[in-house]
Amino acid sequence: MAADLANHEAVYATDEYGRPFIILREQAKKTRSHGIEAIKSHILAARTVANIVRTSLGPRGLDKILISPDGEITITNDGATILGQMEVEHQIAKLLVQLSKSQDDEIGDGTTGVVVLAGALLEQSEELLDRGLHPMRIADGFERACAVAVNHLESISDRIEYTKENSGNLLKAAMTSLGSKIVSKAHQKFAEIAVDAVLTVADMERRDVPFDLIKVDGKVGGGLEDTTLIKGVLLDKDMSHPQMPRTVHDAKLAILTCPFEPPRPKTKHKLDITSVEEYNKLKEYEKEKFADMIKMVKDAGANLVICQWGFDDEANHLLMQNDLPAVRWVGGPEIELIAIATNGRIVPRFEDLSSEKLGRAGVVREISFGTTRDKMMVIEECANTRAVTIFVRGSNKMIVDEAKRALHDALCVVRNLVVDNRVVYGGGSAEISCSLAVAKAADEIPSIEQYAMRAFSAALDAVPLALAENSGLPPIETLANIKSQQVTQKSSRLGVDCVGRGHNDMKEQYVYDPLISKRQQYLLATQLVRAVLKIDDVIMSGPSDE
């Protein structure tokens, strides 16, 4: 027995109760490799998700059809939308979904690129694990390479100059963002709308763009070319009574969150009407209360009521008789936007109404459009002239929804350039330049982390490879040509000519990426890969013993 144990290089151990047991060499090996195998399975799950969105990258990227549980169809190539609506079971794959959401929340654009980069880094990690590198040494090498790449990004960035009067460079950046979207046939118009909207609400001194002043609304009907920018607020409502005036000039708005209803009895009380006299008395009481409410509104100087709640026919009729037009059932976010736009105050009680709390607008009018003559309210010439609404039109709901998502990306790109006007050039040119810089830095590092840095350099090539592949070009040959051109011409502006312009100078093609967007992609992808490499097991928490 002892000889057998010697041959097998046994390890003697005890359990938590002090009972001895023996681990043979094969079992010990299995124990050591368990963590690595777990990490590899996590990498496989994350790479599977990354490969799904890889084909959606770039202006020639393909769209995905997403079908919800109730059969609703969404067609999009927006990375955050695809991952957000996918049913992902694996815990590590859910991290990639969170990654694209982080990029969407923080920057608004580059949601596909960040997932493609993270997938490529994980693919390289697997090869390094097979070669025996410890996961934490790989993670440290990636962080070191990421720092080199981010510093190189800043060194190759350009500043684009613009003013509110001359916003041509912002327009080109917005058009780059929209080039890969479903709205590309009207991307000139959409880019102009995005730039106008951001510059209208932007505070240029503080370099700040308050997005809550930009509302994006949409209606089915018309074409994408019918999309318009309204300097004011658009409400999907109409006047509460058909005989109320359709236009109110020099409007003074009472913005109410209290209903036009008489006070109700408390729930513990009961009201019994047993005779005609009592009914008439109650009717007179209600009429008197309605008259008091309308008088308070009129005394404050209001000539238009915006109410969060509905009101019954009695109140509606009295409002019409008293020449007080009203709009009812205005939702919470909309009523807040109206208050911001008109510099009004939201009033919770009729007794609190005063002329100082009224919102002011030059004109409030009801518009009708389309073959169905849909009606909407437009509040224009507001006291706060910075509030705007983008009204998106499209032939069906799917087109309208995708146009809204595309506009969100374009608005975010322009917003990022207002905050920081430094750009790097797209078409994979920045990734190729950073890849060369990281590979050069790796040659100067004597430690084992140089392998991880070279892997990071190879992972950066995944973005131009995907762009070339999605554009129908030979990927490896295209990448090799651009790399040699960047080295020989010492130009970081050369990238993949995705749309067939005949040259690959991204500056001349006006293909811009905001620096803060690209930098955030590198940092987020690296942090996610570090997190995945640190997880060697997933433990499901069971029910408590209590």
Task: Give per-residue pLDDT as tens, 121-140.
Answer: 988 988 888 888 888 888 89
pLDDT(31) > 70: no
Mention every residue, 6+ apart, whose C-beta is less than 8 A from residue 326.
239, 240, 241, 244, 304, 305, 306, 307, 311, 316, 319
Burial class (CB in 10 A: 0-12, 13-18, 19+), 9: exposed
Domain boundaries, the chain: 28-159+424-534, 161-217+393-420, 232-384
Predicted local distance difference test score (pLDDT) of residue 151: 92
Assigned token pair, 189: 């118009």
pLDDT score for 24: 45
Burial of 128 (0-12, 13-18, 19+ CB in 10 A): buried
> Mean pLDDT, to the nearest integer, of 421-450?
86
Give the class (CATH, top level) of 28-159+424-534: mainly alpha
pLDDT of residue 30: 45
State how far the Cα of 525 lies from the Cα of 207, in Å rounded to an integer.
27
Report DSSP letters for 339-361, one per residue.
HHHHT--EESSGGG--GGG-EEE
Confidence of residue 150 (pLDDT cuts 50, 70, 90): very high
- Residues 175, 178, 184, 187, CA torsion sign: negative
Kindly indicate the confidence band of residue 5, based on its pLDDT and cuts at 50, 70 and 90: very low
Residues whose CB is less than 8 angstroms from the CB of residue 247 and which lie 6 or more positions away in sequence, other chains included: 363, 364, 365, 366
pLDDT band (50, 70, 90) for residue 149: very high
- Closest C-alpha to 178, from 392, 398, 389, 404: 404
Averaged pLDDT for residues 186-201: 87
User: Amino acid identity of 117?
Assistant: L
**What is the mean pLDDT of the segment spanning 264-287?**
76
C-beta of residue 157 within 8 angstroms of C-beta of residue 416: no
Whole-angstrom CA distances from 389 to 113, 200, 362 are 29, 11, 16
What CATH number has the domain spanning 161-217+393-420?
Answer: 3.30.260.10
Q: Is the model's pLDDT at 339 over the cut of 80?
A: yes
Token pair in block for residue 23: 């681990």
Rounded CA-CA distance 334/59 in Å is: 35
Handedness of CA 18, 19, 23, 27 (dihedral sign): negative
DSSP annotation of 303: S
Which phi and psi (to 5°) does residue 245 adopt? -60, 145
Checking if the pLDDT of 120 tops 80, the result is yes
Structure tokens at 81: 């939308």
What pLDDT does residue 266 have? Answer: 61
The answer to whether 253 and 360 have CB atoms below 8 angstroms apart is yes
- C-alpha distances in angstroms, 523 versus 68, 102, 263, 330, 451? 32, 11, 58, 42, 19
Q: In sequence order, what DSSP letters do the residues of 433-453 get, joined into one string? A: HHHHHHHHHHHT--STHHHHH
Catalytic positions: 78, 111-112, 409
**Residue 29 reports pLDDT greater than 50:** no
* pLDDT score at 32: 46
Section 419-427 average pLDDT:
84
The H-assigned helical ranges of 8-134 are 25-54, 79-85, 91-106, 111-130
Distance from C-alpha of 160 to C-alpha of 143, rounded to nearest angstrom: 29
- pLDDT score for 28: 40
Q: Is the pLDDT of residue 21 over 60?
A: no
Cα angle vertex 40, ends 38, 42, to 5°?
75
Judged by average pLDDT, the poorest of 125-129, 154-158, 185-189 is: 185-189
Query: Taking all residues of the chain, what is their mean pLDDT, rounded to a whole number?
Result: 81
| 232-384: CATH, from 2.60.40.10, 3.50.7.10, 3.40.50.11540, 3.40.1030.10 | 3.50.7.10
pLDDT at 309: 85
Torsion of CA 437, 440, 444, 445, to 10 degrees: 70
Contact between 478 and 446 under an 8 Å Cβ cutoff? The reply is no
